Each structure stands twice: as structure tokens, then as C-alpha cells.
Structure 1
Amino acid sequence: MLISHWKRITAITLLGTFLQVSAQAKVKIEEKGTVHVPGFVLPESSFLNDETRGALKKVRQLPSVPERKACPPIDKAEIAEIAAIRDCRAAAFYQRPDYKLMTETYNVHIESTAIAGVPVEIFTPKSGISDANKNRVLINLHSGAYLRGSRTASHMDSIPIAATGHIKVISIDYRLGPEFRFPAASEDVAAVYGALLRDYSPDTIGIYGSSGGAMLLAQSIAWFLEHKLPMPGAVGMFGSGAPTALEEERYKWLQSDSAYIFDAIHGTNIDDLYGPPHAYFKGIDRRERLSSPGSFDDIMERFPPTLLMNGGLRDFSLSMVLVTHAQLTRLGVDAELHAWEGMPHVFHLNPMYPEAKEAYSVATNFFNRHLAK
């Protein structure tokens, strides 16, 4: 019995060793560091709580981006067709359950107007602006990859921050591709910011953006410096960081760890999003200072206090955000980083996630601490 038991233990040990060696043998590492990884199972993170798991499950069961199914793609349309497509996308967006939940949960007034000739929407909490924020204002640069997001994703960015922070938020409907190209959006941000400087001290103005809007924020800071505009009091980059050039037609984040991991688990090619075909950057040298501020320390060291927020390893922008935070910290900028394990890209735009509420609180507290009164 003892011998038989010992044989079973030995056999199990040898089998485990064999499986480990076999698994390791499937991993191939090239001389330059490229790793060939075998297929593997990726469960949800054990750090997620039950409420978040339920929200993630509910989101998975919802129709995937209904406005994309209901409307033609913008990037393949003729210029004359784009206005109608944007209207179609907006109508479909307003029927989304996450949008309805956002507007039901957070009560704000929305005013459509223009500042310095640039279309904007102004969000003010129905409960009123707090005394501490009477002389403060936030500017939002919406997500949407420089192709979409005006008056749709911009609402998801602006509504909860205005309501949670008891502060006025001005969301800029900056010019988008394919109708316009870089640096049209940076010019629009600078025009609105410059106009607000007539009514607000720069240290009472905060600017934040999500995803493409966060990239635009960094490009706008470079634009402000180039045109001798004062720095705002604080900024926030959510779901992205400062673009850094890899080559003439690509940013470095397209070939980062998080981008490759995102492609692997979603069956996508992230290079299609911001690579050479991108309509807004088509024909633009990405290596220029105003396009890739992350490539220039003398720009990045001038950043005001900066908040960076991001999802975890499943967010394609994680590498970019980590690099931006490390760079700002190295240069002596007051930079604060928050990341949420297991959460998708720009998760904070979906109020179904409890982590989104945490992000709203982090953002509003950050600006409350850093903006002058």
C-alpha cells in the first residue's frame, strides 16, 4: 500500500512537471523580445465585487453599440452624408439604457450655445452650483476618437461631473474628422479657453477629457504653450494619456503591451483606430510637437496638476496612461494616477458600474483640491 501510494504521488508529481514544461515549451521568446503566447483562459478578475460582475454581465447582454448598427459608418461616408449620419447616431444613442440611466440619476440643465464661434453645451446641476465653485468652471473634451462623440458621449462625460461636483461644465463640440483634420480640434479648444479667460482666472479653470479627448487635452496644452496662453489650474486625462510619436504615421501606444493584449482578447487590430487610415490625422506627421506632446519633455514639464484615470489590463490605453504618469512624475509635475482592475476602456462613461461613481468622486475631489476659488 505504501509503495503504491508513493508511486501515485510520484506519477502525479511527474505529470505536473511534464505539464508545466509542456506549457512553457509553447511560449517562444524571440531575440528582440517578441513573445509568442499560446491560447489561454482569461476569467474576470477576482478583485471584482458581485455588483460589478452583475453590471459587466448586463452590459455584455446589451446590443453592442446600437448606433453603429442603426447608422452607416462615418469614416466611410461622403462628406455631404456625415451630418445626417451624426443625427442618426445621436437619435440611437439617446435610446441606450446607459444614457437613460445617466439622465435619470444625475439631474442637470443643458444649454446649447457657442463660445468664440465654437458650438458648446453648458451643464449645470439642477441642485445648484456650490459656493466653492461659483468662480470655477470645468471644460470637457469628449471621447470618440476625434470622429464622433459630440452631444452623445460628451453627455456621459459631463452630466455626472457637473452633478456630483456641483460645478459648471462646458463641453466643447470641437471639429472632427473626416470633415476636418489636425489641428482643428486644438484650435477650437484654444478659442473657447481663451474666451473663458476673460471671465475666469486661469487657476480657476479645469480641463478634462476622455479617450481621444484626453489625447486632445495634451495636444491642447502644447497649443496653449505655443501660443503663450496661461496654463489652467488643473487637468484630467481619463482613459488615455499624452500621445508620443513612434513614426510619422503612428503613435507609440499602438504598439504597447496593453494594446496588444486588447487586440488578443477582443479579436481586433487597434492600429485601425489611430493608425495611418485615421481621417483626422491623415497626412499629418505625428512626430510634430503639437501632435505628440509626450515626445517632448519641455512640453510635459509645463503641465499643471494632472489626474490620470484608467481601466485595468483590459483597457488598451493602460500603457499610454502609465507612461504619461511616469513621465510627469519624473519631470516634477503633480500627477495622480487611479486605475480600476478588471474594468473596460472609459468605464466611467457607464453609470451601471459602481466604479464609475468612484471615478466621478475622484475627479471632482481632485479639481476641488487644485482649482483656486
Structure 2
Amino acid sequence: MSHAAFDRVAELYRSARFAPDATVAEMRTAFAGGAGPIPGDVEATPDAVAGRPALRLRAEGGSEAGALLYLHGGGYVIGSARTGAGVAAALARRTGTTAWSLDYRLAPEHRFPDPVDDAVAAYRELLDAAGPDRLLLAGDSAGGGLAVATLVAARGLGLPMPAAVAVFSPWTDLTLSGDSIADRVGDDPLFTIDDLRGYAARYLPESGAAGAAEAAASPLASPVFADLRGLPPMFVHVGSRELLLDDAVRLAANAARADVDVVLEVAARAPHNMPTLVGVLEEADRAVERAGDFLAARLPARVGVR
């Protein structure tokens, strides 16, 4: 896609930004209204995983032998299983698996580490059902950071790792210490630094400035600071104009240093979370296809790929 086309997408992002005084309820309603399409050949069924609501997504001809856990974005404050379902469905179709898009608990009602606990519980249930070599994990934005944190937590519990993980524009540093947080200001059409600070403040514990700062730097809130040794093969996608560019770049670099098989894709001039426009934007379709191919290549051959 040309840079001019990405610029047109960026203008749409700017027009959809939340007002500075928007309430959490207003943000959730507006974000829900922007949920992308679910492919017509994918059956979406309300379900539950580890006691949390989820959408079960299975393409025609998909396999029952493989499972994919998808964690939606939204700064840990907004979003739902439905807003993550478009990418989850596309990945399920590409990998031949059944996907579950999870409704983990949201802040500020449920702060860190509640979403991590929900994701780990769902991971454990799908791990028991599918087995590690047939289980995949994916997520976007905050859900991408949560996916990596889930793996770090699961490893700490002695649980086996899945076949692979894919993350799109992952938010992996709630301390906001990446260089791109400052040098992409004004170029990122979706976020300002204050936006990210607002999401982090709602998610982190209300234990005072010191307690919040300590939580923000912990590996399960900011997995860019985690030891990534032993994690599964990882696919990372990010746009070059994002405030969160360095969250993705440092995550991939740390994975490489930890001897994790990792692919980093940086889409020049793409805005935040571009792959979530799957079904709407051709370049988003191609990015999700590449992620799906990466995931599918790590599955046993008998888990069919469409």
C-alpha cells in the first residue's frame, strides 16, 4: 500500500479519536461501534472460557484439533470479544483452527493483574483441551502485550508453551520509556502521550504513585522488561508512525536475544493496529495472512491450513 493510502487511513483515525473529556462508558460504546466484520464463512458462537465470556470462531472446514486464544486491544479499558473477533476469525481461517476471542475483565473496574489472571486461566483451559503443540496465541495493542504477559506468567507456573504467538502493535511498556513515545508525537494519528498515560492510570493499581510505578515496570504489566527465554516463536507487526513503535521493536529484539524465533514486520507509515482493519483494507488482509501463515507453519501437519 502506498504511503498516501496510509495517510488517508490516518485521517480516519484522527476523526475517530475520543474527546479529551470522554467517559469510559462513552469510549466503550464508540469503540464497540467500530468493530470490524466477521467473514461470512466463519461461524461466531457465544461461549465461555475459564468462566469468562468469549466468542467461538470457526471457519467452514476448520479443524477441531487446533485452538487459538485471541486477546483484544483497547488499553485494558475498552474493547470486547466482539471487537477482537475480526482478526481472530481471519487467523482461525488461515490456520485451520478454532479461535476463542476472550472478554477478559476491564479496568478501571478490574485493574492489573486481573486481565492477566483471566488470560492465564483461559490459556490453561485451552491448553488442556488442545495440547501445547496445537495451541496458538494472538492479540492486538494492549491485547498483544497481554498475550506476551500471559506466556511469561504461564512459564512461571510451569505450563508448557503454545506452538506460536502473533501480536499486532503490542503495548508492552506501561512506563512509556520507548523513544518513539516522544519522537512520534504528532505523527501518530490515534494516540497522544496523555492518552496512553490515561489508559495506564486506569489499569495500574491505585496504590499511590510509587506503587503504580512499580507495577508499571513489572514484567506482567510491561513484558518488554521480561526475560523471554523459552517463549514460543513470535510474530510482531507494527506501523512506523506509532507511539508504540519501540514497544514492538524492543520486544522483538529482546526475544531475539533470548533465542526466541521471531519475525518483526514494520509497515512504513502505517498507523496503530493496522491489521485490525482486516476485511476492510487490503494491506491489513495481507498482514494478517502473513501472521496466519507464520502461526500455521508451527502447527502439526494434520491441523489443516486453509
Q: Same fold (TM over 0.5)?
A: yes
AA in 2 matched with 1:365: D
CA distance in 1, matches of 2:170, 2:201: 17
CA distance in 1, matches of 2:179, 2:40: 36
Within the alignment, does 1:60 sit opposite 2:11 as a pair? yes
Q: How far off its partner does 1:305 sit?
A: 0.8
SS in 1 for 2:256: helix
Query: Which residue of the partner structure matches residue 73 of structure 1?
Result: 23
The alignment yields a C-alpha RMSD, in angstroms, of 2.8
Q: State the Cα deviation string for residues 340-365 of structure 1 (Å, max 9, x = none).
A: 11111101111333221111111111
CA contact (8 A) 1:143 1:149 kept: yes
Gap change, CA 1:58 and 1:339, over 3 Å in 2: closer
Gap change, CA 1:276 and 1:60, over 3 Å in 2: closer
Greater shift, 197-206 or 170-179, is seen at 197-206
Q: State the Cα deviation string for residues 202-224 of structure 1 (Å, max 9, x = none).
A: 12101011110011112111211
Within the alignment, does 1:331 sit opposite 2:258 as a pair? yes
Query: Which residue of the partner structure matches residue 120 of structure 2?
Result: 190
Q: How far off its partner does 1:266 sit?
A: 4.9
Query: Which residue of the partner structure matches residue 92 of structure 1?
Result: 33
What pairs with 1:134-283 in structure 2 (closer than 5 Å)? 134-240=64-170, 242-243=172-173, 251=175, 254-266=176-188, 269-274=192-197, 278-283=201-206
**TM-score relative to the length of structure 2:** 0.84
Equivalent of 2:289 in 335, 340, 361: 361
Equivalent of 1:341 in 265, 268, 274: 268
CA distance in 2, matches of 1:91, 1:327: 33
Q: State the Cα deviation string for residues 295-319 of structure 1 (Å, max 9, x = none).
A: 243xx1121111111112x012211
**TM-score relative to the length of structure 1:** 0.70
SS in 2 for 1:256: coil
Within the alignment, does 1:116 sit opposite 2:57 as a pair? no
Q: State the Cα deviation string for residues 66-114 of structure 1 (Å, max 9, x = none).
A: 8x57x9520xxxxxxx5x974x4366335xxxx3xx34x5532111111
Q: How far off its partner does 1:334 sit?
A: 0.8
CA distance in 1, matches of 2:137, 2:146: 11
Q: How far off its partner does 1:165 sit?
A: 3.5
Gap change, CA 1:176 and 1:188, over 3 Å in 2: same
Greater shift, 213-222 or 154-163, is seen at 154-163
Gap change, CA 1:349 and 1:106, over 3 Å in 2: farther
SS in 1 for 2:48: strand
Gap change, CA 1:271 and 1:203, over 3 Å in 2: farther
Q: State the Cα deviation string for residues 146-191 of structure 1 (Å, max 9, x = none).
A: 0111044312322322334443111110001011011111111111
Higher RCO structure, 1 or 2 (CA under 8 Å, sep 6+): 2
CA distance in 1, matches of 2:187, 2:109: 32
AA in 1 matched with 2:98: K
CA distance in 1, matches of 2:45, 2:226: 38
CA contact (8 A) 2:224 2:250 kept: no
Gap change, CA 1:112 and 1:72, over 3 Å in 2: farther
SS in 2 for 1:194: helix
Q: How far off its partner does 1:63 sit?
A: 8.0
Larger radius of gyration: 1
CA distance in 2, matches of 1:139, 1:215: 14
Greater shift, 140-149 or 227-236, is seen at 227-236
Query: Which residue of the partner structure matches residue 61 of structure 2?
Result: 128
CA distance in 1, matches of 2:201, 2:47: 29
Gap change, CA 1:184 and 1:277, over 3 Å in 2: closer
- Of all paired residues, the percent bearing the same amino acid is 26
Q: State the Cα deviation string for residues 228-251 of structure 1 (Å, max 9, x = none).
A: 2211111112102643xxxxxx52
Aligned residues: 291
CA contact (8 A) 1:218 1:241 kept: no
Gap change, CA 1:279 and 1:371, over 3 Å in 2: same
Q: How far off its partner does 1:225 sit?
A: 2.0
Gap change, CA 1:135 and 1:59, over 3 Å in 2: same
Gap change, CA 1:54 and 1:338, over 3 Å in 2: closer
CA distance in 1, matches of 2:94, 2:126: 22
SS in 1 for 2:182: helix
Gap change, CA 1:271 and 1:54, over 3 Å in 2: closer
